[in-house]
Amino acid sequence: MRSQAELGNEGGDDICFNAQSSLLAGGCAYGVSAYLLRRDHPRLKWGGVALAGITAMQWVEGLLWLDGPAPHGTVNQLLTVGLIPLALLAQPWGPLLGSMYELPVKPRRVPFFVVLIAGLAIVVLARAVYHPTQTQVTPQGHLNWWSPQNPPVYVAWSYGLWALVIGAPFLLWWRPFWQAVLIVSWGWVWATIGFVLTDSAASYWCFYVSFYAVFVLVYAVMVRDVDRSTPAAAEQPGC
């Protein structure tokens, strides 16, 4: 029987399925995020925090691929138990907390805390129910950090709920609305493709990360920093 490392190498010929592509996607996205956070524009800072959050999983998966992932290995277990939940939590919390750069919490505190608590509850419940202690490589060569069962089985309604929670901060507060739909729908497309066509539904996340990094970088080119010498807001791109 082939080892997990061999299965990983077999899947490693494609983007998203090896250490190089995961770390490259993570590094490029974090470079864009750092640039956005240095800009003096609240929407760009929101985008920078959101990008850092949704990209966190790329770093963890990159480290898992570097490790093999070794079956029952210490590094594998530490990453699966310790960092995977934090990376999952960063996916909805990054966009949510980033929105605080542009919008105060108090006028929207109910939906804000609903999304905040929903993200935390889903991660905690999922880890408690499935209780994975290590990451495995699926027969198709994807990472399975979701459950001990391999390949993992994602419940459709909970998978869709998680996608909705991740997209909620954009849909609720990013305007113009068509931009929010563009950001979210691209992620949902790849989530659906992964769910239908692969044996690990979260396998195509790096495609969304790459798209969002390009989107916010192009957006950054189209807007000017806030002119602190006047009370006028920064110029926004046309819609």
Average pLDDT, the chain: 89
Overall domain count for the chain: 1
- Please state, for a pLDDT cut of 90, what percent of the chain lies above it: 78
pTM of the shown model: 0.88
Decide if 180 is inside a domain.
yes
8 Å CB contact between 148 and 131: yes
Decide if 209 is inside a domain.
yes
Decide if 34 is inside a domain.
yes
Tell me the pLDDT tens digit for each residue of 71-114.
989 999 999 999 999 999 999 999 999 999 999 999 999 999 99
Decide if 52 is inside a domain.
yes
Tell me the pLDDT tens digit for each residue of 192-239.
999 999 999 888 888 888 889 999 999 999 999 987 766 544 444 433
Decide if 234 is inside a domain.
no
44-61: buried (b, 16+ CB within 10 Å) or exposed (e) per residue? Answer: bbbbbbbbbbbbbbbbbb
User: Higher-confidence residue: 16 or 139?
Assistant: 139
Identify the domain containing residue 181 by its residue range: 4-220
Decide if 228 is inside a domain.
no
pLDDT (average), residues 179-189: 92
Decide if 225 is inside a domain.
no
Decide if 231 is inside a domain.
no
The CATH number of the domain holding residue 102 is: 1.20.1070
Tell me the pLDDT tens digit for each residue of 130-162.
999 999 999 999 999 999 999 999 999 999 999
Strand-pairing partners, residue 136, are 144
Residue 219: count other Cβ atoms within 10 Å of its Cβ: 18
Flag whether pLDDT at 3 surpasses 50.
no
HEC profile of 199-218:
CCCCCCHHHHHHHHHHHHHH
